[in-house]
Chain A
Amino acid sequence: MEMKSETTSIPGNWRLDQFRWKTEQVKLMGKFLAGLKEKQVLGLKCPGCGLVYVPPKPFCRCLERPEKWVEVSDEGVVTTFTFSGTWAFRGFEEADESETRIIVGIKLDGADTLGLSLLQGSDPADVDVGMRIKIRWPDAPEGALKDILFVEPA
Protein backbone atom coordinates (compact mmCIF):
# COMPACT_ATOMS: atom_id res chain seq x y z
CA MET A 1 0.00 0.00 0.00
CA GLU A 2 1.03 3.55 -0.61
CA MET A 3 2.40 5.14 2.56
CA LYS A 4 2.00 8.84 3.18
CA SER A 5 4.49 10.64 5.39
CA GLU A 6 1.79 12.91 6.72
CA THR A 7 -1.57 11.49 7.74
CA THR A 8 -4.74 13.09 9.04
CA SER A 9 -4.54 14.75 12.43
CA ILE A 10 -7.48 14.49 14.79
CA PRO A 11 -7.62 17.49 17.10
CA GLY A 12 -8.52 17.08 20.75
CA ASN A 13 -7.93 18.62 24.13
CA TRP A 14 -7.72 18.08 27.85
CA ARG A 15 -10.21 20.15 29.80
CA LEU A 16 -7.91 21.19 32.60
CA ASP A 17 -10.19 24.21 32.92
CA GLN A 18 -12.83 21.87 34.37
CA PHE A 19 -10.67 20.73 37.27
CA ARG A 20 -11.40 21.95 40.77
CA TRP A 21 -8.19 21.19 42.64
CA LYS A 22 -8.41 21.27 46.40
CA THR A 23 -5.82 22.78 48.66
CA GLU A 24 -5.48 23.32 52.38
CA GLN A 25 -2.87 25.93 51.62
CA VAL A 26 -5.35 28.80 51.43
CA LYS A 27 -6.25 28.74 55.08
CA LEU A 28 -2.65 28.42 56.17
CA MET A 29 -1.62 31.10 53.74
CA GLY A 30 -4.15 33.49 55.25
CA LYS A 31 -2.19 33.53 58.47
CA PHE A 32 1.13 33.70 56.67
CA LEU A 33 0.01 36.64 54.53
CA ALA A 34 -1.41 38.41 57.58
CA GLY A 35 2.07 38.10 59.10
CA LEU A 36 3.64 39.69 56.04
CA LYS A 37 1.38 42.67 56.50
CA GLU A 38 3.05 43.17 59.87
CA LYS A 39 6.50 42.61 58.29
CA GLN A 40 6.73 39.25 60.02
CA VAL A 41 7.72 36.03 58.27
CA LEU A 42 5.87 33.11 59.84
CA GLY A 43 6.79 29.50 59.42
CA LEU A 44 4.96 26.31 60.29
CA LYS A 45 6.94 23.85 62.40
CA CYS A 46 6.63 20.08 62.14
CA PRO A 47 6.10 18.35 65.48
CA GLY A 48 7.78 15.21 64.18
CA CYS A 49 11.11 16.34 62.79
CA GLY A 50 11.18 20.02 63.68
CA LEU A 51 11.47 21.33 60.12
CA VAL A 52 10.13 24.85 59.66
CA TYR A 53 8.22 25.42 56.44
CA VAL A 54 8.08 28.90 54.90
CA PRO A 55 5.58 29.41 53.33
CA PRO A 56 3.53 26.96 55.41
CA LYS A 57 2.96 23.45 54.12
CA PRO A 58 0.17 21.23 55.44
CA PHE A 59 2.17 18.00 55.47
CA CYS A 60 5.73 16.98 56.20
CA ARG A 61 7.99 14.36 54.68
CA CYS A 62 8.07 12.57 58.05
CA LEU A 63 4.27 12.00 57.74
CA GLU A 64 3.35 14.43 60.52
CA ARG A 65 1.22 17.53 60.07
CA PRO A 66 3.14 20.77 60.77
CA GLU A 67 1.03 22.87 63.10
CA LYS A 68 3.03 25.24 65.29
CA TRP A 69 3.54 28.77 64.00
CA VAL A 70 6.98 30.28 64.58
CA GLU A 71 8.47 33.56 63.47
CA VAL A 72 11.61 33.32 61.34
CA SER A 73 14.13 36.01 60.48
CA ASP A 74 13.79 38.29 57.47
CA GLU A 75 17.49 37.71 56.84
CA GLY A 76 19.06 34.68 55.28
CA VAL A 77 21.40 33.32 52.60
CA VAL A 78 21.38 32.87 48.83
CA THR A 79 21.37 29.16 47.97
CA THR A 80 21.14 29.38 44.18
CA PHE A 81 20.49 31.96 41.50
CA THR A 82 19.88 32.67 37.87
CA PHE A 83 19.43 35.78 35.77
CA SER A 84 16.48 36.76 33.72
CA GLY A 85 15.38 39.60 31.52
CA THR A 86 11.70 40.30 31.63
CA TRP A 87 10.53 37.95 28.89
CA ALA A 88 13.32 37.30 26.44
CA PHE A 89 16.68 36.93 28.04
CA ARG A 90 19.65 37.61 25.86
CA GLY A 91 22.26 36.07 28.08
CA PHE A 92 24.15 37.34 31.06
CA GLU A 93 27.10 38.55 29.07
CA GLU A 94 25.06 40.27 26.39
CA ALA A 95 22.12 41.48 28.42
CA ASP A 96 21.38 45.06 29.04
CA GLU A 97 22.40 45.44 32.66
CA SER A 98 19.40 47.58 33.47
CA GLU A 99 17.06 44.84 32.28
CA THR A 100 18.82 41.99 34.01
CA ARG A 101 16.96 40.59 36.93
CA ILE A 102 18.73 38.45 39.46
CA ILE A 103 16.53 35.66 40.71
CA VAL A 104 17.86 34.10 43.89
CA GLY A 105 16.92 31.06 45.87
CA ILE A 106 16.96 32.07 49.52
CA LYS A 107 16.83 30.32 52.86
CA LEU A 108 15.76 32.60 55.70
CA ASP A 109 17.41 32.09 59.09
CA GLY A 110 15.18 29.83 61.14
CA ALA A 111 13.46 28.34 58.08
CA ASP A 112 14.33 25.04 56.41
CA THR A 113 12.90 25.76 53.00
CA LEU A 114 13.84 27.48 49.80
CA GLY A 115 12.10 30.57 48.46
CA LEU A 116 12.61 32.58 45.31
CA SER A 117 13.09 36.34 45.26
CA LEU A 118 14.58 39.10 43.16
CA LEU A 119 17.89 40.45 44.39
CA GLN A 120 18.31 44.20 44.20
CA GLY A 121 21.20 46.45 45.06
CA SER A 122 23.84 44.00 43.89
CA ASP A 123 25.89 43.76 40.74
CA PRO A 124 25.08 40.52 38.85
CA ALA A 125 28.76 39.63 38.89
CA ASP A 126 28.81 39.76 42.70
CA VAL A 127 26.01 37.32 43.33
CA ASP A 128 27.15 34.13 44.97
CA VAL A 129 25.84 31.14 46.81
CA GLY A 130 26.13 31.80 50.54
CA MET A 131 25.71 35.54 50.18
CA ARG A 132 23.79 37.11 53.09
CA ILE A 133 20.57 38.86 52.17
CA LYS A 134 17.56 40.40 53.86
CA ILE A 135 14.04 41.08 52.74
CA ARG A 136 13.43 44.59 51.45
CA TRP A 137 10.00 45.30 52.86
CA PRO A 138 7.71 47.71 51.08
CA ASP A 139 6.67 50.73 53.14
CA ALA A 140 3.15 49.45 53.39
CA PRO A 141 2.97 45.66 52.90
CA GLU A 142 -0.28 44.44 51.37
CA GLY A 143 -0.33 41.01 52.94
CA ALA A 144 0.54 39.34 49.61
CA LEU A 145 3.45 37.20 48.45
CA LYS A 146 4.86 40.12 46.52
CA ASP A 147 5.65 41.80 49.85
CA ILE A 148 8.70 39.53 49.97
CA LEU A 149 9.49 39.71 46.27
CA PHE A 150 12.68 41.71 46.76
CA VAL A 151 15.76 41.02 48.84
CA GLU A 152 18.98 43.02 49.14
CA PRO A 153 22.45 42.29 50.45
CA ALA A 154 22.42 42.25 54.25
Chain B
Amino acid sequence: MEPGGLKNVDTVEIPAVPVFSWSVGNFMEKFFDGLKDGKLMGIKCPKCGRVYLPPRMICERCFTENEEWVELPLEGTVESFTIAHVKVGDDGELEDLETPETIGMVKHKGADTCIVARIEGLDPADAGVGMRVTVVIDKSAENILDVLSHYVPC
Protein backbone atom coordinates (compact mmCIF):
# COMPACT_ATOMS: atom_id res chain seq x y z
CA MET B 1 0.00 0.00 0.00
CA GLU B 2 1.30 3.40 -0.93
CA PRO B 3 0.84 5.83 1.97
CA GLY B 4 -0.10 9.41 1.43
CA GLY B 5 -2.13 9.60 -1.75
CA LEU B 6 -1.85 13.35 -1.47
CA LYS B 7 1.78 14.16 -2.12
CA ASN B 8 3.82 16.96 -0.74
CA VAL B 9 2.75 17.35 2.83
CA ASP B 10 3.82 20.58 4.43
CA THR B 11 5.38 20.85 7.82
CA VAL B 12 4.33 23.05 10.68
CA GLU B 13 6.71 24.22 13.36
CA ILE B 14 6.08 26.26 16.48
CA PRO B 15 8.35 28.02 18.97
CA ALA B 16 6.65 26.63 22.08
CA VAL B 17 8.63 24.85 24.79
CA PRO B 18 6.49 23.78 27.78
CA VAL B 19 8.49 23.76 31.00
CA PHE B 20 8.30 21.46 34.01
CA SER B 21 9.60 21.44 37.55
CA TRP B 22 9.61 18.00 39.11
CA SER B 23 9.62 17.99 42.88
CA VAL B 24 11.98 15.23 43.93
CA GLY B 25 10.24 14.31 47.20
CA ASN B 26 11.75 13.90 50.64
CA PHE B 27 13.65 10.69 49.91
CA MET B 28 15.62 12.11 46.99
CA GLU B 29 15.97 15.34 48.98
CA LYS B 30 17.84 13.45 51.67
CA PHE B 31 20.03 11.86 48.97
CA PHE B 32 20.94 15.28 47.59
CA ASP B 33 21.52 16.65 51.10
CA GLY B 34 23.85 13.71 51.72
CA LEU B 35 25.77 14.37 48.52
CA LYS B 36 26.28 17.96 49.58
CA ASP B 37 27.90 16.58 52.75
CA GLY B 38 30.07 14.27 50.64
CA LYS B 39 28.02 11.19 51.54
CA LEU B 40 26.15 8.62 49.47
CA MET B 41 22.90 7.90 51.25
CA GLY B 42 20.87 4.84 50.31
CA ILE B 43 17.81 3.42 51.99
CA LYS B 44 17.07 -0.12 53.12
CA CYS B 45 13.86 -2.07 52.98
CA PRO B 46 13.00 -3.20 56.51
CA LYS B 47 11.56 -6.42 55.15
CA CYS B 48 13.89 -7.82 52.50
CA GLY B 49 16.96 -5.69 53.20
CA ARG B 50 17.21 -4.47 49.61
CA VAL B 51 19.15 -1.19 49.51
CA TYR B 52 18.09 1.47 47.03
CA LEU B 53 20.61 3.98 45.73
CA PRO B 54 19.34 6.51 44.75
CA PRO B 55 16.75 6.02 47.46
CA ARG B 56 13.11 5.17 46.83
CA MET B 57 10.22 5.63 49.23
CA ILE B 58 8.90 2.14 48.56
CA CYS B 59 10.58 -1.23 48.15
CA GLU B 60 9.10 -2.44 44.90
CA ARG B 61 9.65 -6.07 45.85
CA CYS B 62 7.88 -5.94 49.21
CA PHE B 63 5.67 -2.87 48.82
CA THR B 64 7.03 -1.70 52.15
CA GLU B 65 7.95 1.85 53.08
CA ASN B 66 11.71 2.07 53.28
CA GLU B 67 12.98 3.62 56.45
CA GLU B 68 16.56 2.76 57.38
CA TRP B 69 19.07 5.15 55.85
CA VAL B 70 22.50 3.68 55.15
CA GLU B 71 25.65 5.48 54.19
CA LEU B 72 27.28 3.63 51.33
CA PRO B 73 30.97 3.49 50.44
CA LEU B 74 32.13 5.91 47.78
CA GLU B 75 33.69 3.03 45.86
CA GLY B 76 31.69 0.90 43.53
CA THR B 77 31.92 -1.68 40.75
CA VAL B 78 31.15 -1.12 37.08
CA GLU B 79 28.24 -3.40 36.23
CA SER B 80 28.12 -2.26 32.63
CA PHE B 81 29.46 0.57 30.53
CA THR B 82 29.33 2.08 27.10
CA ILE B 83 31.67 4.32 25.18
CA ALA B 84 29.58 7.15 23.87
CA HIS B 85 30.54 8.37 20.43
CA VAL B 86 27.35 10.43 20.17
CA LYS B 87 24.91 12.33 22.34
CA VAL B 88 21.31 13.43 21.97
CA GLY B 89 21.40 16.98 20.63
CA ASP B 90 18.88 19.75 21.10
CA ASP B 91 17.07 18.61 17.99
CA GLY B 92 16.65 15.16 19.50
CA GLU B 93 18.99 13.49 16.99
CA LEU B 94 22.28 11.73 17.73
CA GLU B 95 25.20 14.05 17.10
CA ASP B 96 28.86 13.04 17.13
CA LEU B 97 30.98 13.79 20.18
CA GLU B 98 34.42 15.24 19.49
CA THR B 99 35.95 12.99 22.11
CA PRO B 100 34.26 9.73 23.03
CA GLU B 101 33.35 9.42 26.70
CA THR B 102 32.72 6.49 28.98
CA ILE B 103 29.35 6.08 30.66
CA GLY B 104 29.18 3.51 33.41
CA MET B 105 26.50 1.82 35.43
CA VAL B 106 27.92 1.51 38.91
CA LYS B 107 26.83 -0.55 41.87
CA HIS B 108 28.17 0.47 45.25
CA LYS B 109 28.96 -2.23 47.77
CA GLY B 110 25.90 -2.77 49.89
CA ALA B 111 23.51 -1.31 47.31
CA ASP B 112 21.19 -3.35 45.13
CA THR B 113 20.59 -0.74 42.46
CA CYS B 114 22.86 1.23 40.17
CA ILE B 115 23.84 4.79 39.34
CA VAL B 116 24.60 5.83 35.77
CA ALA B 117 27.35 8.44 35.42
CA ARG B 118 30.42 9.28 33.36
CA ILE B 119 33.67 7.53 34.17
CA GLU B 120 36.56 9.91 33.67
CA GLY B 121 40.31 9.69 34.02
CA LEU B 122 40.76 6.60 31.88
CA ASP B 123 41.28 5.67 28.26
CA PRO B 124 37.86 4.41 27.14
CA ALA B 125 39.63 1.34 25.73
CA ASP B 126 40.56 0.41 29.30
CA ALA B 127 37.00 0.43 30.59
CA GLY B 128 35.68 -2.93 31.67
CA VAL B 129 32.89 -4.60 33.59
CA GLY B 130 33.96 -5.35 37.14
CA MET B 131 36.30 -2.37 37.31
CA ARG B 132 36.48 -0.55 40.65
CA VAL B 133 35.63 3.14 40.60
CA THR B 134 35.17 5.95 43.11
CA VAL B 135 32.51 8.60 42.93
CA VAL B 136 33.63 12.21 42.60
CA ILE B 137 31.36 14.62 44.42
CA ASP B 138 31.42 18.26 43.47
CA LYS B 139 29.87 20.08 46.43
CA SER B 140 30.18 23.40 44.66
CA ALA B 141 28.17 22.39 41.60
CA GLU B 142 25.43 24.86 40.81
CA ASN B 143 23.01 22.28 39.44
CA ILE B 144 21.97 19.81 42.10
CA LEU B 145 22.18 17.02 39.52
CA ASP B 146 25.88 17.74 38.98
CA VAL B 147 26.89 17.27 42.62
CA LEU B 148 27.26 13.56 41.92
CA SER B 149 29.70 14.51 39.21
CA HIS B 150 31.36 11.37 37.83
CA TYR B 151 33.44 8.34 38.71
CA VAL B 152 37.18 7.76 38.42
CA PRO B 153 39.06 4.45 38.52
CA CYS B 154 40.23 3.51 42.02
Q: Report A's interface with B, CB cutoff 8 A.
A: 1, 3-4, 6-27, 58, 65
> Count of B residues near A, CB < 8 Å?
33
Residue of A nearest to B93 (CB): A18
Q: Which of A7, A19, A25 contacts B14 (CB 8 A)?
A: A19
B154 at the interface (CB under 8 A from A): no
Interchain CB contact under 8 A, B14 and A17: yes
A50 to B29 alpha-carbon distance, docked (Å): 61
Interchain CB contact under 8 A, A17 and B26: no
Contact with A along B1-30 (1 / 0, CB 8 A): 000111011111111111111111110111
Interchain CB contact under 8 A, B29 and A7: yes
Interchain CB contact under 8 A, B21 and A20: no
Interchain CB contact under 8 A, B21 and A9: yes
Residue of A nearest to B25 (CB): A7
Interchain CB contact under 8 A, A24 and B24: no
A33 to B28 alpha-carbon distance, docked (Å): 56
Residue of A nearest to B10 (CB): A26
